[in-house]
Structure 1
Amino acid sequence: MAFPDAPVRETKSPKYEWPRHLLFSTMITFYDIPFTVPGRALSPYTWITKCCLKVKGLEFNTEWVDLVDITPLCKKIGAEPTIVTSDGREMYTLPVIHDPSTRKTISDSFKIAQYLDEAYPETPRIVPPGTTSLHRAFMSAVHKLEADIYPLIIATTFAHVPESSREYFRRTREAFLKKPLEEVSRTADEAKETWEKVKASFAVFDSWYEKDAVFIGGKEPCFADLMLAGRIFWIRSVFGEESIEWKNVEGWNHGRWNKLLRTFEEK
């Protein structure tokens, strides 16, 4: 989730230095955010890009970038800001990729998918021709779902933030939320009600899929599938595979969402 109202200030982290091993790399570099969870990845947005690369069969290096280092990294490698606030402040987020074959640096998971479709036309398309507007409409529905998930998940997410980025994470999220993280957590009754809203949203998405189809477009995945799977991955990563939260979600809609997630992970 983006944080457009969070104040921007210089962090105490050192200026990002381009790793030597990437200077002469011929593979795409994929920038991800590390957390203290198995596999290190947690962000639904970076997970989408990682899966795009895997679905397309493109080789890539993963470069882990702490939250506090994202802005200096993006400025150094020429990545465009993904958010410009109403008062003109530029904000930088991951995922970002750098493709040495074209010397292009791309930010934003949807723009990355579109770029990969154009640059590597022989690979499976993630955004089929003529579906950009449909994908943007689907994106709006997914963002509404994410807004419901967020208050259920943010405090537990903080527990997985590396020490080097904890102050930054707390400061920026509390500025966005306008309250301490500890006050975002719902009471048991509020949490139950919100989980019911999340479940209802997934039921709507389920109605958009054919009964026995894994992917919304048929036999091949598209960006819409990745958007949903990314949020499912986020829930599982934050709460853990043995948590009651995940056990509930993986059983929704006859196990459709767990199957979707597993299908991507097997690619």
Structure 2
Amino acid sequence: MSTSPTPSTSIVFYDIAMRPPVETSCLAPNPWKSRLALNFKAVPYTTSWVPMPDIPNVRKSLNVPACRKFANGADYYTLPIIHDRATNTLVGDSFDIAVYLQKTYPNAGAGDLFPPQTLDYAYSPAHAPLVPLTECRDGFPEYAKFNVNVDAAFTAHIQLAMHGMSELFDPATAEISKAEFVRRAGLSKFEDFALVGEKREKTKESLKNMLGGLGKLFEKDTSGPFLLGTKANYADLIVGGWLRTFSVTLPKSEWEELRSWNGGVFGRLHDALEVYAQVK
């Protein structure tokens, strides 16, 4: 199989349409992981922007089943999805997308997304998350476990970002999207997500402590800014996807705080991944 697809057989990447212009308002972490991976692999792709309320219908129309479920067993329909027209393959989970890209185009772009390494990080949230977390997927088990734990860690603190997230909703569908988040969380109104005063400070401190543990992995190779020094891999992109989310949803002053924690480890990581953050 060719490792150099041509533009005529490019990948279609399905991402969530937020406030126009959509190219400057991407925020969801899992689509960001896949976008970073696509750019890392330098495979030709175009983005199909899907309004948030249309995601279930789009997945169903593509015959891509939901890859996660709510606690009550109901399907959780979300993005990303890729359709690789070179192989006529559809993949509907961010981790599976990265595995697919590595196995199908092993030598493309910047090379290996999954070099061997030990990713010794674990996080157990105190409360059930607002949305179902990605399960441990097949392939590259060290990275799969890391993905699950990083998702759990950041999701446990996502309430800090909810107000900023709502400001990036497409005005045409904002009320529908807010109602869906309220329904998932079992709240009465979107304003119940508000996190202010002492509660906000405690959650920020918890986020700082969580990142302190995660940051130790990035401090092992001092040549940085990546886990393995000067070359990025998918574990960096997993964290980088979440940093992209928080960079546009936290208040600017809080994002600058986060960037400075752990001696600036996460600020440097975020900036170094800018080369893979093009929105096409």
Same fold? TM cut 0.5: yes
Q: 1:212 to 1:190 in 2, by over 3 A?
A: farther
RMSD: 2.1
Per-residue CA deviation, residues 176-218 of structure 1 (Å, 9 max, x unaligned), is 2111221222231111111011011111111112233211134
Shift of 1:70: 1.1
**Could you say which residue in structure 2 is the equivalent of 1:10?**
none
* 1:157 alignment partner AA: M
In structure 1, C-alpha distance between the alignment counterparts of 2:83 and 2:274, rounded to whole Å: 23
**Could you say which residue in structure 1 is the equivalent of 2:204?**
195
Does the 8 Å contact 1:34/1:42 carry over to 2? no
Q: State whether structure 2 residue 159 is matched by structure 1 residue 139.
A: no
**Could you say which residue in structure 1 is the equivalent of 2:126?**
none
Shift of 1:171: 1.9
Q: Give me the identity figure in percent.
A: 25
In structure 2, C-alpha distance between the alignment counterparts of 1:148 and 1:91, rounded to whole Å: 18
Alignment of 1:30-109 (within 5 A): 30-36=13-19, 39-85=24-70, 87-109=72-94
TM-score (norm 2): 0.80
Q: Which runs of 4+ in 1 moved over 6 A?
A: none
**Could you say which residue in structure 2 is the equivalent of 1:27?**
10
In structure 1, C-alpha distance between the alignment counterparts of 2:95 and 2:199, rounded to whole Å: 33
Identify the range of structure 1 (194-203 vs 33-42) with the bigger mean alpha-carbon deviation: 33-42
Shift of 1:38: 6.6
SS in 2 for 1:194: helix
Pick from 219, 223, 237 the counterpart of residue 234 of structure 2: 223
Does the 8 Å contact 2:18/2:170 carry over to 1? yes
Per-residue CA deviation, residues 130-149 of structure 1 (Å, 9 max, x unaligned), is 87222233223312322332
Does the 8 Å contact 1:148/1:197 carry over to 2? no
In structure 1, C-alpha distance between the alignment counterparts of 2:195 and 2:72, rounded to whole Å: 32
Aligned residue pairs, count: 242
Does the 8 Å contact 1:208/1:216 carry over to 2? yes
